[in-house]
Structure 1
Amino acid sequence: MIKFLKENVYASYVLTLVRLYLGYEWIQAGWHKLTSAEPFNAQGFLMGAVKKATGDHPVVQSWWANFLDAFAIPNVGLFNFLVPYGEFLVGLGLILGALTTAAAFFGILMNYAFMFSGSTSTNVQMSLLTIFILVAGFNAGKIGLDRWIIPYIKKAVKKDATLEA
């Protein structure tokens, strides 16, 4: 299965469809936050997640709630910037097939942060689909800008390594 995802041309077509779907979902979420009449504010979400760590059946684990309480809430301005721009850029990268695995990695990182905070929505489905893109690596972005970007990066890295040796 892994070899199929990494090397098969038909897999690259299917992965392109998955990429486009995920990219649309991410770019739409980010664009909505960036263009909303009210500025995006994660504070209510973060505080709600901390509250979900208490009670008989907590939805949020205490270690995550402690992280949110100690770092995320005091730095909510950083998250108010990172979330909408991160969602938009992940979506753009997936749609264009540019730095696809990096975009997928940061997308799944956000999905897990949302799930750790007690939100499910489409995050579970998006995480599952993103795993296929991450496993496929270059093949997931072959029908996209990665066709040219990745060889250029590899050539530049190889040239730098040769110069240092």
Structure 2
Amino acid sequence: MSTTEQTPSGPTYIEEPAVARWLFGSNRAAWIWLIARLWLGWEWFQSGWSKVFGGDITLRFWDWGDQQYGLTGDGNIGWVRSSGDVDVGDSVAGFAQGAIEASEGPHPDVAYGWYVDFLEWVRDTAHPWLGPMVAIGELVIGVLLIVGLFTGIAAALGAVLNFSFVFAGSAGVNPAMILVSFLLILAWRNAGWYGLDRWALPLLGTPWFRGRLRSRRREQGAPEPEADSGEAQTPPS
């Protein structure tokens, strides 16, 4: 079987291996991405919940009821809520300030001057609206990944946030989340098979594929074909 496909006047397409087609395009491999999707989604959901509602939630049901866990709390102060001398977005400003301080010295954690300029802008100007946007964004990304809706887009947005933390010198779990996000982006066709993408993608389609909803609207709004002017018209009886 040929591994290339050459068009008369276009580029040459190299056929992907069968294992890649199975892994990134088959519904039989969707259970793999379900596990990855749920793990990544929970990481974002847990982080976003704390920033939006202030609580510290856990899947360890044996810890439910402990004082350190709860649905609500003070964890959202500085993100979406102000209290005392702490205003909305101050947590982002504090994070940016810490990263700026870590950019000094012979071995800085922040290695790019342009990103230091960006962090200074966040600290001085953008933190009042960037704090709530990050908090709500993390929560929304987590929900989308867990329910399997727009999985590839959610994973891409999450990777952008992860990279912003890594550029600021914060590693932690971010590299692992970036790796899983890239794999989910590659598997966008089947990563949400055990989720809402199973119905949403065929219905809504993509920029390069017309979904059933768009096709139905086009059929309903299509004008009637005009008769050929070269043909004789049959007069009404």
Counterpart-to-counterpart distance in 2, 1:80 and 1:137: 29
Aligned equivalent of 2:101:
51
Any stretches of 5+ residues in structure 1 without a counterpart?
none
Does residue 89 in structure 1 map to residue 140 in structure 2? yes
- Structure 2 CA distance for partners of 1:66 and 1:152, relative to 1, 3 Å: same
* Offset at residue 159 of structure 1 (A): 5.5
1:15 aligns with 2:33: yes
In structure 2, the gaps of 5 or more residues are 1-18, 55-73, 80-90, 206-210, 223-237
- Residue 119 (1) aligns with residue 137 (2): no
Higher helix share: 1
- In structure 2, the residue matched to 1:6 is 24
Where relative contact order (Cα < 8 A, 6+ residues apart) is larger, the structure is 1
Q: What pairs with 1:70-109 in structure 2 (closer than 5 Å)?
A: 70=121, 72-73=122-123, 74-109=125-160
CA contact (8 A) 2:204 2:214 kept: yes
Deviation at residue 131 of structure 1 after TM alignment: 1.0
Q: Equivalent pairs: percent with the same residue?
A: 32
Displacement of 1:39 in angstroms is 3.6
Equivalent pair of 2:30/2:191 in contact (CA under 8 Å)? yes
The yes-or-no answer on 1:140 pairing with 2:191 is yes
1:59 is displaced (CA, Å) by: 1.0
- What displacement does 1:2 show? 3.3
* CA distances 1:2-27 after superposition (whole Å, capped 9, x unpaired): 32322233421010010001101100
> Which of the two has greater strand per residue?
2
RMSD, aligned CA = 1.9
- 1:101: Cα distance to partner? 0.8
**Which residue of 166, 183, 203 corresponds with 1:152?**
203
Q: 1:119 to 1:157 in 2, by over 3 A?
A: farther
Report the structure number with the largest CA radius of gyration.
2
Q: State TM-score, norm by structure 2.
A: 0.64
Asked if the contact 1:111/1:127 (under 8 Å) is kept, the reply is yes
Report if the CA contact (8 A) 1:97-1:145 is conserved.
yes
- Using the alignment, how far apart are the partners of 2:139 and 2:214 within structure 1? 28
Q: Judge conservation of contact 1:5–1:135 (CA < 8 Å) in 2.
A: no
Change (3 A) 1:69 1:158: farther
Q: CA 1:68 to 1:8, structure 2 compared with 1: closer, same or farther past 3 Å?
A: same
The SS at the match of 2:105 is: coil
1:13-49 residue CA offsets vs partner (Å, 9 max, x unmatched): 0100100011011000000111221242211001111
Aligned-pair distance for 1:161?
Answer: 7.1
Aligned residues: 164
